[in-house]
Chain A
Amino acid sequence: MGHPMATAVEFQNVSRSFGTIKAVDNVDLAIEEGSFFAMLGPSGSGKTTCLRLISGFDQPTSGQIRIFGEASEGVPPNRRSVNTVFQDYALFPHLNVRDNVAYGLMVKGIDKASRHKSAEDMLGLVKLNSFGDRKPGQLSGGQRQRVALARALVNKPRVLLLDEPLGALDLKLREAMQDELKSLQQALGITFVFVTHDQGEALSMADRVAVFNEGRIVQEGTPSDIYDRPINRFVADFVGSSNILAPDLVARFGGGNVWGSLRPESIRLTEKSAIVRGAVTTSRYLGAGTRIGVMVGETEIAALLPTGTAVPAQGSDVGLTWDQDALHLMGQG
Chain B
Amino acid sequence: MAALADRLSDTFWRRPRLLLALLLLPPVLWLGVIYVGSLFALLLQSFFSIDEFSGLVTYEFTLKTYAELLIPANFDIILRTFLMATVVTIASAIIAFPIAYYAARYAKGRWKALFYLGVMLPLWSSYLVKLYAWKLILAKEGIITWLLDSVGLLWLLDKILTIPVIGGPSLSVSYIGMFLVFVYVWLPFMILPIQASLERVPGNLIEASGDLGASNAQTFRHVIFPLALPGIVAGSIFTFSLTLGDYIIPGVIGSSRNFIGMAVNAHQGTAGNIPLAAAFAVVPIVIMVIYLSIARKMGAFDAL
**Which residues on the B side are within 8 Å of A74 (C-beta)?**
14
What is the distance, in angstroms, from A74's C-beta to the closest C-beta of chain B? 7
Q: List B contacts of A76 (CB < 8 A).
A: 9-10, 13-14
Q: Which residue of chain A has the shortest Cβ distance to B2 in the bound complex?
A: A109
Tally of A interface residues using CB under 8 Å:
5
Please give, as numbers and ranges, the residues of chain A lying within 8 Å of B14 by CB-CB distance.
74, 76
A74 to B15, CA, bound (A): 11
CA distance A117 to B13 in the complex (A): 32
Within 8 A of A (CB), among B1-59: 9-10, 13-14
Nearest opposing residue in chain B for A57, CB measure? B13
Complex-state Cα separation, A205 to B20, whole angstroms = 42
Minimum CB–CB distance for A286 against chain B, Å = 43
Q: Which residue of A lies closest to B13 (CB)?
A: A76
Q: Which residues of B contact A78 (CB under 8 A)?
A: 9
- Tier of interface size on chain B: under 10
Binary B-proximity of A72-108 (CB < 8 A = 1, otherwise 0): 0010111100000000000000000000000000000
Chain B residues lying within 8 Å of A77, measured Cβ to Cβ, are 13
Which residues on the A side are within 8 Å of B9 (C-beta)? Answer: 76, 78
The CA-CA distance from A78 to B9 in the complex, in Å, is: 10
Determine the distance from Cα of A76 to Cα of B6 in the docked complex, in whole angstroms: 10
Most chain B beta-carbon contacts within 10 A, residue among A74, A76, A78: A76
Q: B243-281 toward A: CB 8 Å interface, digit per residue (1/0)?
A: 000000000000000000000000000000000000000
Complex contacts, B13 vs chain A, CB 8 Å:
76-77
B150 CB, nearest partner CB in chain A, Å: 59
A237→B187 CA distance, assembly (Å): 65
A213 to chain B, nearest CB (A): 30
Q: How far is A230 from B84 in the complex, measured between Cα atoms in Å?
A: 79
Separation of A136 and B14 alpha carbons in the complex (Å): 32
Complex Cα distance, B14 from A74, in Å, reads 7
**Shortest Cβ distance from residue B253 to the other chain A in the assembled complex, whole angstroms:** 50
Bound-state CA distance A78–B10 (Å) is 9
Minimum Cβ distance to chain B for residue A58 (Å): 12
Within 8 A of B (CB), among A141-197: none
Q: Please report the C-alpha to C-alpha distance between residue A74 and residue B7 in the assembled complex, in whole angstroms.
A: 12
Residue on B nearest A78 in the bound complex, by CB: B9
Question: Smallest CB-CB separation from B11: which chain A residue?
Answer: A76
Chain B, 60-94, contact with A by CB distance < 8 Å: what is the 0/1 string?
00000000000000000000000000000000000
Name the distance in Å between A106's Cβ and chain B's nearest Cβ: 14
Instruction: From B9, B10, B13, B14, name the one whose CB has the most chain A CB atoms within 10 angstroms.
Output: B13
Q: Which residues of A contact B10 (CB under 8 A)?
A: 76, 79
Of chain B, the residue at the smallest CB distance from A76 is B13
* Alpha-carbon distance between A26 and B142 when the two chains are bound, in angstroms: 84
State in angstroms the CA–CA spacing of A74 and B10 once bound together: 9
Interchain nearest-CB distance for A45 vs B (Å)? 26
Chain A 54-77 interface 0/1 with B at a Cβ cutoff of 8 Å (1 = within): 000000000000000000001011
A119–B10 Cα distance when bound, in Å, is 28
Task: Looking at the assembled complex, report how far the CB atom of B157 sits from the nearest CB atom of chain A, in whole angstroms.
Answer: 60
B272 nearest CB across to chain A (Å): 56
8 A/B residue pairs, CB under 8 Å, sorted by A:
A74-B14, A76-B9, A76-B10, A76-B13, A76-B14, A77-B13, A78-B9, A79-B10
Q: Which 3 A-B pairs have the closest CB atoms?
A: A76-B13, A76-B10, A74-B14
Q: A76-B10, A76-B13, A77-B13 are in contact. List 5 more A-B contacts (CB 8 A).
A: A74-B14, A76-B9, A76-B14, A78-B9, A79-B10
